[in-house]
Structure 1
Amino acid sequence: MQTIEIRPLTRDEVVSVWQIERREIVQEVYRFTDGRLQLHSEFYDTRDWPEGEPELYTPILLECYDHGGTFTGAFAGGKLVAVAVVDARPVTDYPQYRQLSFLHVSHDWRGRGLASRLYRKSMQIVKEQGAEGFYISSTSTRHTVEFYLHQGGHPIEQPDQKLYALEPDDIHLIHQF
């Protein structure tokens, strides 16, 4: 078994997040309706990052890094295989929280506890910085939403207006530490 190194990313390594293999078969998604999560059948065969996403989000990630964001990576053989990103800036409508803005694990590395390790490490860092919890705008896939629920997140009725406008189909959650 290959050794995993968990460490902060340097600014130059931020662009390596796009090396993470996002491949996934999705069969169910959640919707937050009438104050509760409801599971729906939907099929997606995700093969890669959506077209244009690296070009759109790289400047956003670099700006997050430059504002003190936390970038924690899991490396195997020198290659980034998982990453968690927490924005250091307060969430507009929830200033006591910090946004867990990016958490991805390469397809072949899923199921090994890397997401949980990165989540806990990120949580420890932002707790030390004085934040009260995470704000999470999660993709609606069953696997992803259930991961955040298992970590301690819960859906909120009143999402942050700015983040909701960016991702209205996401499931918006709070994890108070």
Structure 2
Amino acid sequence: MEIRYEKLNHGNFGGHSLDDFIRHQTITECWRNVDGELKLVPNDFTEDWTVEKCREVAAGISCRLEKDLSAFGAFCGNRLVGFVTVEHEIFGNSAKYVNLEQFQVSQDFRGKGTGRKLFALACSEAKNLGAQKLYISAHSSKESQAAYKALDCIPAVEVNEKMAAEEPFDIQMEFALEQEKIYEN
């Protein structure tokens, strides 16, 4: 099963491109701020995107492609099995950040290096945009945090207060592009 990676555009991505995408995650623990310290706490729920949700996400990406958003996809045959999006706006006072807005790998393709390659493409795009760091408002689940830490992401030095307020349980993280590891394998 060979995976090919492509920059997404209106020729290879549209409103139905995520119809076969499996966004499923069973969560049992999340990181929460408890008395000023991050701790794992029980939090049982399942995230499961319906086809309608997949189409909503696809439409949102499609309308912003090549305007204020760059995106890359991982394809197995004609099926999109992973994608990453990077916003073009540079922000921050202490560093030049760009937001890693979406970073998703279909459940059946996790743990196979697909995410690492997509992350490397996002890093390359962020550098091309003139950024110094990727900014990530990351899901607080134990599994999501482990994945970002495996990619050497750290807590954000400069927190984007608007993003933090929009997702108060997310963990605000960053990745310094000058330390970029090459995730080509």
Instruction: Kindly state the Cα deviation for residue 36 of structure 1 after the two structures are TM-superposed.
Output: 4.4
- The aligned counterpart of 2:129 is 129
Shift of residue 61, structure 1, vs aligned partner: 2.6
1:26 paired residue number: 27
Query: CA, structure 1 residues 62+32, in 2 after alignment: closer, same or farther (shift >3 Å)?
Result: farther
- Root-mean-square deviation (CA, aligned residues, Å) is 2.6
Larger mean CA deviation between 118-127 and 15-24 belongs to 15-24
The TM-score, its normalising length taken from structure 2, stands at 0.81
Letter in 2 for 1:97: Y
Partner of 1:167: 167
Cα displacement string for residues 13-71 of structure 1 (whole angstroms, at most 9, x for unaligned residues): 1432454211121111112456643211211123325976753x555434542424221
**2:181 matched to which residue of 1?**
none
More helix by share: 1
Corresponding position of 1:72: 72
Give the Cα separation in 2 of the matches to 1:95 and 1:28. 32
- Paired residue for 1:97? 97
Give the 3 Å change call, closer, same or farther, for CA 158–128 of structure 1 in structure 2. closer
- Is 145-154 or 31-40 further displaced after alignment? 31-40
1:5-84 alignment runs, 5 A limit? 5-11=4-10, 13-15=13-15, 16-17=17-18, 19-33=20-34, 36-49=37-50, 54-55=55-56, 57-58=57-58, 60-84=60-84
Secondary structure, counterpart of 1:115 in structure 2 = helix
Query: Secondary structure at the residue paired with 1:84?
Result: strand
Consecutive unaligned residues of structure 2, counting only runs of 5 or more, are 178-185
- Hey, what's the Cα distance between the residues in 1 that align with 2:147 and 2:110? 12
Query: Could you say which residue in structure 2 is the equivalent of 1:88?
Result: 88
How many correspondences in the alignment?
Answer: 175
Percentage of identical aligned residues: 25
For residues 176 and 34 of structure 2, what CA distance do their matches in structure 1 show? Answer: 22
Structure 2: how far apart are the matches of 1:17 and 1:50?
8
Q: Quote the offset at 1:158 in angstroms.
A: 5.2
Are residues 50 and 148 of structure 1, via their aligned partners in 2, closer, same or farther at CA, if it must alter by over 3 Å? farther
Moved more, 129-138 or 64-73: 64-73
Query: Does the Cα contact within 8 Å between 2:81 and 2:109 map onto a contact in 1?
Result: yes
CA distance in 2, matches of 1:140, 1:50: 24
Aligned to 1:106: 106
- Unmatched 5+ stretches in structure 1: none
Q: What is the CA–CA distance in structure 1 between the aligned matches of 2:37 and 2:61, rounded to whole Å?
A: 31
- Counterpart AA for 1:41: P
Alpha carbons 1:134, 1:176 under 8 Å: kept = yes
- 2:95/2:133 contact within 8 Å kept: no
Do the aligned residues in 1 keep the contact of 2:84 with 2:119 (CA within 8 Å)? Answer: yes
Matched, 1:4 2:24: no
Contact 1:91–1:135 (CA under 8 A) maintained in structure 2: no
The yes-or-no answer on 1:116 pairing with 2:116 is yes
Give the Cα–Cα distance (whole angstroms) in 1 for the partners of residues 54 and 79 of structure 2.
Answer: 21
Moved more, 68-77 or 43-52: 43-52
